[in-house]
Amino acid sequence: MHNEYIIPTDHATAAEVFLQDEERANWHDKALWFIREKRDVATKQIPDWELLRETASQIKQNVLGNLDNYLEMFEQNALQNGIKVHWAADAAEHNQIVLNIIQQHGIQKLVKSKSMLTEECHLNDYLLENGIDVIDTDLGERVVQLAKEPPSHIVLPCIHKRKEEVGELFHIHLGTEKGASDPAYLTEAARQHLREKFLTSDLAITGVNFAIAETGGFVVCTNEGNADMGAHLAKVHIACMGIEKIIPKAENLGVFLRLLARSATGQPITTYSSHFHRPAKGQEMHLVLVDNGRSVQLGLKDFYNSLKCIRCGACINTCPVYRRSGGHSYHYAISGPIGAILAPNMDMRKNADLPFASTLCGSCTNVCPVKIDIHNQLYKWRQVLGEEGYVPATKKQSMKAMGSLLSNPTLYRIAGKSGRTMMRLLPGLANNKALNPWAKQRDMPAPPKESFRDWYLKNKKQHD
């Protein structure tokens, strides 16, 4: 099932398409904000939330500063545990390694649980080209696979789809009733459909959430139980991970597992946190360590922090731009703010638009459980892209204007005043689609008669 989704050229253009369906865009916006709110409630229940975030960030800092040593330690312990360890410098090598293992066992069909790394490497397409049938088993991933689309969110792969669309896909592919769209009914249909796949697949691929240097084991987190169903029923288990997923000690899991699900969905922990240390009797366990640009990102002092990411998706759920543009508009395996700082490292030219898909409001940074300074990195990427000549002319102009605006208080006051005057007198201009892409499909809010600055000065005078 080849990915037939045509990726639009740049984020703003793709966002425009997404916003045309206003009902869907509004629903998408609200659904993600609802998850953000659940996250807030969950974090408030932990007195140590900020201490946990700081500790997690420090642990990751320690990991990145010793990554070579931890990788070697992990490899040694994993080998001792009977896990076969492979190293892949890039996506192509990763795919090749996985294919070799599959072919050595003469396998035609496999099940796969969620792994953003394999998305990043486009493993499914590669295996398909080589005649291997890959079944994604995470419900959301199965939905997008049937739709021949990539996931639009790292935690909620089909958040862009309405239940009626899922119903139609299942009607065509799984034979559910025409017009049925009840999530419980559709989930049951997927359960039965995928259970048959679990029971008949000799090989399972999973991702890795954390790999423990000290013990040579790895942890996979799911709510559905699909990683375990796949891995335990298969003769061969291949786990694929980016090299940054290492943590030093098992006790560090205490910190990360407390943060991960609360940040992701507001659950106190995922339903399953599976710790794989040794293959079962008669089973073969492989682990592929993948670089694919990470060791380069590690050397960029302004950007290496992004390698601390534990893929919780909180920055995505909270992002006002993501919520109103949809994951596909990012044209990269990982969407949202975190994707926008990872993508330019992979391909500056192709992904030059992504760091601009942000208001730099900083909400991402505020929720990030490992304290990545996401919005600063977005801002810094804009500078780098500008210097390297990858910035579109319109963005360059507004960047320059913004730069001089922020560094000049008088100009800032004038800009504020004229901006408001212009909007009051000529609201149609501020809504002009060519000048302001975010105005598309929605009207700008009525401008306040007084800016905060004017209000502050007036009130200050009254109190003086």
Among 233, 399, 405, 444, binds other proteins (CB under 8 A): 233
- Nearer to other proteins by Cβ, of 380 and 440: the residue is 380
396 near 385, Cβ under 8 Å? no
Our CB check for other proteins shows the closer of 74 and 438 to be: 74
For residues 258 and 52, is the Cβ–Cβ distance under 8 A? yes
Q: What are phi and psi of 104, to 5 degrees?
A: -55, -30
Is residue 133 a contact partner of residue 110, using CB atoms and an 8 Å limit? yes
Q: Which of 52, 204, 287, 309 binds ligand SF4 (CB under 6 A)?
A: 309
Residue 207 makes contact with ligand SF4 by CB under 6 A: no
**C-alpha 370, offset from chain centre:** 14
Q: Any idea what DSSP says for residue 279? A: P
Does 312 sit near ligand SF4 (CB under 6 A)?
Answer: yes
The binder of other proteins chosen from 5, 33, 87, 379 (CB under 8 A) = 87
Applying CB under 6 A, the span of 112-120, 321-329, 361-369, 420-428 interacting with ligand SF4 comes to: 361-369
Q: Shortest approach of other proteins to residue 340 CB, angstroms?
A: 22
Query: In the structure encoding, which two tokens stand for residue 291, read together?
Result: 């670089």
* Residue 342 token pair: 């990872």
Q: How far apart are CA 278 and CA 206, in angstroms?
A: 15
Q: What is the CA radius of gyration of the chain?
A: 24
50's CB contacts (< 8 A; 6+ apart) are none
Shortest separation between residue 318's beta carbon and ligand SF4, angstroms: 8
DSSP, collapsed to helix, strand or coil, labels residue 198 as: helix
Give the Cα separation of 374 and 418 in Å (integer): 31
Pick what 417 binds: ligand SF4, other proteins, none; C-beta below 5 to 8 Å, kind-dependent.
none
Positions 65 through 84 that interact with other proteins (CB under 8 A): 65-68, 71-72
* 165-194 residues near other proteins, rule: CB under 8 A: 166, 183-184, 186-188, 191, 194
Binding mask 16-55 for other proteins (x = CB under 8 A): ---------------x--xx----------xxx--xx--x
Give the footprint of other proteins on residues 108-167 (CB under 8 A): 137-140, 143, 156-159, 161-163, 166
* E strand spans, 296-366: none
DSSP string for 213-277: TTTTEEEEEESS-HHHHHHHH-SEEEEEEEGGGEES-TTHHHHHHHHHHHHHTS-SS-SEEEEE-
Binder of other proteins out of 19, 98, 121, 229 (CB under 8 A): 229
Cβ neighbourhood burial of 323 (10 Å; 0-12, 13-18, 19+): buried
With CB under 5 to 8 Å by kind, the binding choice for 284 among other proteins, ligand SF4, none is none
Which residue among 131, 254, 409, 419 contacts other proteins (CB under 8 A)?
Answer: 254
Q: Which of 321, 360, 392 is nearest to 15 (CA)?
A: 321
Contact 231, 276 (CB under 8 A): yes
SS3 204: strand
Question: Which residue in 314, 319, 378, 423 binds ligand SF4 (CB under 6 A)?
Answer: 314
From the list ligand SF4, other proteins, none, pick the one residue 309 interacts with, judged by a Cβ distance below 5 to 8 Å according to partner type.
Answer: ligand SF4
- Spell out the residues 6+ positions from residue 351 whose beta carbon is closer than 8 angstroms to its own: 331, 332, 340, 343, 344
For 2, the token pair is 């080849």
> Binding to other proteins by residue 357, rule CB under 8 A?
no
Element (H, E) at 111: strand 109-112
Question: Whole-number minimum distance, CB 338 to ligand SF4, in Å?
Answer: 4
Residue 50 beta carbon to ligand SF4: minimum distance, rounded to whole angstroms: 15
Of the pair 49, 185, the CB lying nearest ligand SF4 is at 49
Q: Which window, 142-150, 242-250, 304-312, 398-406, contacts ligand SF4 (CB under 6 A)?
A: 304-312
Please tell me the total number of residues recorded for the chain in this structure: 464
Among 370, 385, 391, 423, binds ligand SF4 (CB under 6 A): 370
315 counts as binding ligand SF4 under rule CB under 6 A: yes
For position 299 contacting other proteins by CB under 8 A, the verdict is yes
**CB under 8 A: which stretch of 268-276, 332-340, 377-385, 396-404 binds other proteins?**
268-276
Residue 312: contacted member of other proteins, ligand SF4, none (CB under 5 to 8 Å, by partner type): ligand SF4
Point out which residues bind ligand SF4 (CB under 6 A): 263, 309-315, 338, 367-370, 372, 374
